[in-house]
Structure 1
Amino acid sequence: MTAPYRLIGSTPSPYSNKLRALLRYRRISHVWVPRTVAVEAEIAHVKPQIVPMLRFPEETDYRVDSTPLAHALEARHGARSVVPADSADAFLCHLIEDFADEWVTKIMFHYRWYYAADADFAQAWIVDEHQPGADANRRAQAMAYMRERQQGRMALVGCTSDNAPIIEESFADLLAALEPHLNGAAFLFGSRPSLADFALYGQLKMLATDPTPQAVLREKAPRLDVWLRAMDDASGVEGDWRESGAKPAPAIAALLGLVGRDYLPFLAANARAWEAGEEEMAVQLRGRRYAQAPFRYQVKCLSALREAFAGLDAGSRQRIAPWLETAGCLEAIDAQGVSA
């Protein structure tokens, strides 16, 4: 019998939840291993030290980064694909997944460490999972270290007091975009979940668990809260992709509007600042100044989106270009003017 995949992750990690839910939906045999002190020696050599870490059945080492892992699984397991069959929808799926992984995670991180009640909750959750059975003194020290470390990173990733109104408005608009549509058996690209659904799920599950955003989500988006619970294990879902060539569903159109308003202007400003060697990137979002340190990884994200758009067949590009333009996305993505 072939050994199952071995997934090491953490329940407070949005990306761990994303990949675990994807494995469950695809009915891929795997063993879930919480990242506790008991497994640290096993994974000490893995670079970078991020979760989730996935070991393939025939391999001895672990791979990291949820998006490449999802695509590696897509290439190996044909059944129950999470990438829409229509190439234009596959690109939109890529764009929304990237938005969830790189922008919605700022919303998650902001709420988790900005408010005292959430930081209290998170530090205990993280430490108690990683060090089960720690005595009171060790637990208190670990929690204080975790809180100081994470809050010390807030300015680096843009989760500052100055940026807080932008981030919280973006969260409210995200809930408004999804609540009317993602409920019951509905998903972004049909009656089956896509990689974009799983990426949103990973971040939103954290926001539906941490105290302050949980209260907001339950008040503003109660049906979305139920959808998140269903997404945790969608192994019983049977469904189809939406009709090829169809106009964007309302949820997709609303999400593209958020991508064009918040995420792509941030990515473009980040790329300009990185390439100019600047220590700070700044951009006007929602009528306010948003600033943080530029990141190389997000330069790669923008490049990957542009390459994916340019790699579409001409018909698919021309079909979705008006949708992207309406949402304010096209200029940043179509840097070479290939849609013309």
Structure 2
Amino acid sequence: MSEVTLWTSELSPFSLKIEACLQFKDVPYSCLPQLSQPLKSFLGAVKVEWGKRRNKVYKYPQMTDLDEYPGVPYLIEEDGRIQYDSTAIAYWLDGQVQLRPALWPDDPKLAFVARLLDDAMDEFGIYLVHHMRWSISPHTNDAGKRLHKEFGSLLFWSGEEKFAREFSRRQTSRLPYLFSMPPQGYDAQLPDYLTAPIKQGWPQTHTLLNDAWTDFINCLEKILRVQPYLLGERFSMADASLYGMFGMLLDDPTADEDMQARAPKLRQWLVDIRAGRHCHNISEKPLYLSDEVLPLLELVCEVFLPLMQQNEAAYLEKKQQGETLFNEAAWRKDRALYTGELRGHPFKAVVKTFQVQVWRDLQAAWKQLSQSHRQELSDQVSGLVQL
């Protein structure tokens, strides 16, 4: 397969996921922007932005009205076609590169489990890791400086310190959109630009997210103590998804130290994938669903499935009421808001159309399984009855 280009950032968990997939499939790639190639980076930025404005950016196999363009990553093929959505790109890669083992398992049950984990990480795991970066590690992470280094060839007007400060301010201000709401009266004793806003009438979610973080890393630690990857003896899409999210925290000192202290096997696994060791000795390695993975799947069913259900119900209600604005644009105007509950914790959020699409696609994938496969999985993971 010809070399592809990623318009990307190492700060993005979706970018880390796709890079791990490209490495596993042995696809040559380069990343933009690059400080050493300002002209190529500028042209790449123009190409991606122009494609978005003209709705010429492709999602495999198709884009719907519920989808939304991300910040990164975008994959630029040799012929200039631009793709987005890390999950869709992984499906596309399997079709393009068949000489290497598939990212998505051939077994229908395992393929569904991989999809469930992938979707859960994309839509709930993203809340966990941004909470860890911007609520738990804001005073120790250097995300803004790293982003400035990546995009420096395009940031002629902004010095590193100023850019880093403004980027941190932007990210902490977005925490309520990303499900992280501090308790009323919470004082993190941080500068204003690192202090998340507390919105009146919004229930705190720190307890929910902190508990979920602990439960996820504990589940993953137990799995990786007995098997090398989540679905058996080799890397698959399930691993790519988990790596993308939790791997981004390797560069956030406070979160990284927490993983090292409480889940050292998980942390080393993330380091190994970042170093490309998941690409070694992969031929003929079996995939399977072990008993050790079942608690992780039950956890996903506790936090991810009900969130998707409540988001879709709110979407349908708001649409019936005539609402036309959703996602972050609506959140900034206090529109399309709804209340819900996860694991006994109340929350408030904005309707996200892309999550509606994820939920509907996941339900369709569940229905496409044979009755016997659905029954077998439901017998192993009780929470799947929600589908």
TM (norm. structure 2) is: 0.78
> 1:208: which partner in 2?
250
> Are 2:125 and 1:104 equivalent residues in the alignment?
yes
CA distance in 1 between counterparts of 2:313 and 2:209 reads: 21
Cα distance, 1:120 vs structure 2: 5.0
Task: Name the residue aligned to 1:25.
Answer: 24
Give the counterpart of 1:237 among 277, 281, 306: 281
Inter-CA distance 219–31: structure 2 relative to 1 (3 Å threshold): same
DSSP 3-state at the match of 2:362: helix
Partner of 2:364 in structure 1? 307
**1:132 Cα deviation from its structure 2 partner:** 6.1
| Distance (Å, rounded) in 2 between the aligned partners of 1:322 and 1:241 | 23
3-state SS of 1:309 partner: helix
The correspondence of residues 243-258 of structure 1 with structure 2, limited to 5 A, is 243=288, 248-258=289-299
Which of 204, 217, 224 in structure 1 is aligned with 2:266?
224
Per the TM alignment, residue 35 of structure 1 is displaced from its structure 2 partner at its CA by 5.9
Task: Select 2:312's aligned residue among 260, 271, 276.
Answer: 271
Worse-superposed segment, 203-212 or 306-315: 203-212
* Change over 3 Å in CA distance of 1:116–1:315 after alignment to 2: closer
Question: Could you say if the C-alpha distance between residues 197 and 116 of structure 1 is closer, same or farther in structure 2, counting changes exceeding 3 Å?
Answer: closer
User: For 1:187-229, what per-residue CA distance to the aligned partner results, in whole angstroms no more than 9, with x for missing partners?
Assistant: 1111111111101000111123212211111101101111111
Match of 2:104 in 1: 83
Please, which moves more after superposition, 32-41 or 299-308? 32-41
1:250 is displaced (CA, Å) by 3.3
Count the aligned residue pairs.
Answer: 324
CA distance in 1 between partners of 2:154 and 2:110 (Å):
47
- Higher mean alpha-carbon deviation, 150-159 vs 102-111, is at 150-159
Give the drift of 1:255: 1.5
Letter in 2 for 1:315: S
2:210 maps to which of 134, 155, 168: 168
Q: Secondary structure at the match of 1:11?
A: coil
Matched letter for residue 308 of structure 1: A
- Corresponding residue SS for 2:339: strand
- Distance in 2 separating the partners of 1:105 and 1:62: 24
> Equivalent residue for 2:373?
316
Question: Could you tell me the percent identity over the aligned residues?
Answer: 23
Which structure 2 segments of 5+ residues have no match?
A: 53-68, 183-203, 319-334
Please give the secondary structure, in 1, of the residue aligned with 2:50: coil
Give secondary structure in 1 for the equivalent of 2:31.
Answer: strand
1:45 counterpart = 2:42: no
| Cα deviation code 1:26-46 (max 9, x no counterpart) | 112222334666333343324
**2:85: which partner in 1?**
65
Structure 1 residues 80 and 46, CA, compared in 2 at 3 Å: closer, same or farther?
A: same
Q: Is the 8 A contact 1:183 1:227 kept in 2?
A: no
Is the partner of 1:179 in helix, strand or coil?
A: helix
The code of the aligned residue for 1:240 comes to: K
* 1:33-81 CA distance string (max 9 Å, x none): 3466633334332423522211223x21321110111101111111211
In structure 2, relative to structure 1, the CA distance for the partners of 1:134 and 1:271 (3 Å cut) is closer
SS state at 1:329 partner: helix
Alpha-carbon contact 1:157-1:293 (below 8 Å) kept: no
Instruction: Please say if 1:260 is aligned against 2:301.
Output: yes
Between the aligned partners of 1:42 and 1:183, the Cα distance in structure 2 is: 45
Match of 1:337 in 2: none
Determine the structure 2 residue equivalent to 1:125.
146
Q: 1:95 and 1:137, CA in 2 relative to 1: closer, same or farther beyond 3 A?
A: closer
- Per-residue displacement from partner, 1:159-203 (whole Å, max 9, x unpaired)? 211111111111110111011222596111111111111010001
- The residue type paired with residue 45 of structure 1 is W
Q: How many Å separate the matches in 2 of 1:33 and 1:230?
A: 24
C-alpha change, 1:101 and 1:275, in structure 2 (3 Å) is same
The answer on whether the counterparts of 1:55 and 1:61 sit within 8 Å (CA) in structure 2 is yes
Q: Which moved more, 1:260-269 or 1:107-116?
A: 107-116
* Offset at residue 133 of structure 1 (A): 10
- SS of 1:180's partner is helix
Does the CA-based 8 Å contact 2:34-2:153 persist in structure 1?
no
CA apart distance, 1:119? 6.8
- After superposition, the Cα gap between the structure-2 partners of 1:181 and 1:69, relative to the gap in structure 1 and judged at 3 Å, is same
